[in-house]
Amino acid sequence: MTQSYGDTTIETSLTGAGISPGKVRSKDIGELIAATEEIISTYVHDKHSEIRTNDIIVGLKNVKGDGYILEYEPSLPEITVPAFEAVSHCIETRKLEILPSKTVESIAKIRQLSKKGGFNTEFYAVNGSRKYLTSINQTLEIPASITMQGETTLYGEIIRVGGSEPKVAIKMMSGKILYCDAKKAIVRQAGQRLYEIVGIRGNAEWRMNDMEIQSFQIIEFTDYQDSPITETFNHLKQSISDAFSHIDDPVSYFAESQNGD
């Protein structure tokens, strides 16, 4: 007999030492609600390309347990509830690598919120009985194989140009050397600016577990601007949409990432 999901709702429940009155910011709750909807909408769109992410609404139905149990009533429940269960299964079995990258980005947002607030975010499906699905907290590891792409601008010193394949080696402000792909015309421009500090605008691929750049394709050079990290980070957030919208303090966030948290 085929299961009906018409009366099924879903829940996120916040538990742990960080949960007590006045300890969780309203903004964080709002971001959690948005990320929960994005987990479902991006997964559904990946499996049903005719359904746009904006067509999926995971509406907040009820708030229980002193505000820390959030109940949602999703649209298209025959599709969205199984999607929520499928994503939860991948989280529970630590198989995030088979999920769409946009879905993993939203899972990473919830992981960051859980870490920041010191709580666990538990997923449930409710239809008569309440069925536990999985939990997200700071111990959830994002596989190194999962990446994300976007356009951004980096700054560094051109220290090497050329090779059998056109490459431009940039010494970043951190001291790390990044080998960038570029068209021959860009490589020739780089040769004329050897040992200069420049801005490079291009398409980057980041490893999601630690935000390490895996590849960079140069589009153009820009003039170097000595901007504070917060200003540069705000530009990065705009460049790659909502992927970093949950991060308030970029200095602390990337320091924690480098420490493996």
Asked if 120 contacts 114 with a C-beta cutoff of 8 angstroms, the reply is yes
In a domain, 224, yes or no: yes
Q: Are residues 177 and 85 in the same domain?
A: no
In a domain, 30, yes or no: yes
In a domain, 100, yes or no: yes
Is the per-residue pLDDT at 257 higher than 50? no
Q: Are residues 189 and 82 in the same domain?
A: no
> Is residue 69 helix, strand or coil?
strand
For residue 258, what pLDDT band results from cuts at 50, 70 and 90? very low
Interval 159-209: pLDDT, tens: 999 877 889 999 998 888 999 999 999 999 999 999 999 999 999 988 776
pLDDT given for residue 45 in this prediction: 93
Last-in-domain residue among 110, 136, 162:
136
Strand partners, 60: 72
Asked if 170 contacts 154 with a C-beta cutoff of 8 angstroms, the reply is yes
- Which two three-digit tokens encode residue 186? 């860009």
Q: Are residues 22 and 128 in the same domain?
A: yes
* pTM (two decimals): 0.62
Q: How far apart are CA 235 and CA 227, in angstroms?
A: 11
What average pLDDT does the segment 89-97 reach?
94
Neighbours of 16 (CB within 10 A): 16
In a domain, 3, yes or no: no
Q: How far apart are CA 235 and CA 125, in angstroms?
A: 38
Interval 212-223: pLDDT, tens: 888 999 999 987
Last-in-domain residue among 136, 160, 175:
136
Q: Are residues 174 and 69 in the same domain?
A: no
Domain containing 117 equals 9-136
Q: How far apart are CA 247 and CA 223, in angstroms?
A: 27
Strand partners, 221: 200
In a domain, 108, yes or no: yes
Q: Look at the chain and report how many structural domains it folds into.
A: 2
CATH code assigned at 252: 2.40.50.140
In a domain, 22, yes or no: yes
For residue 242, what pLDDT band results from cuts at 50, 70 and 90? low
Q: What's the gap between Cα 170 and its chain centre? A: 26
Asked if 89 contacts 133 with a C-beta cutoff of 8 angstroms, the reply is yes
Q: Are residues 157 and 109 in the same domain?
A: no
Q: Are residues 81 and 190 in the same domain?
A: no
Torsion sign (Cα): 31, 34, 40, 46 = negative
Q: Are residues 21 and 80 in the same domain?
A: yes
In a domain, 1, yes or no: no
Q: What is the 3-state secondary structure (H, E, C) of 164-201?
A: CCCEEEEEECCCCEEEEECCHHHHHHHHHCCCCEEEEE
In a domain, 4, yes or no: no
Asked if 40 contacts 56 with a C-beta cutoff of 8 angstroms, the reply is yes
Q: Are residues 154 and 246 in the same domain?
A: yes
For residue 260, what pLDDT band results from cuts at 50, 70 and 90? very low
Percent of the chain surpassing pLDDT 90:
56
Q: Are residues 130 and 13 in the same domain?
A: yes
- Which two three-digit tokens encode residue 178? 């990044």
Interval 35-72: pLDDT, tens: 999 999 999 999 998 999 999 999 999 998 766 899 99
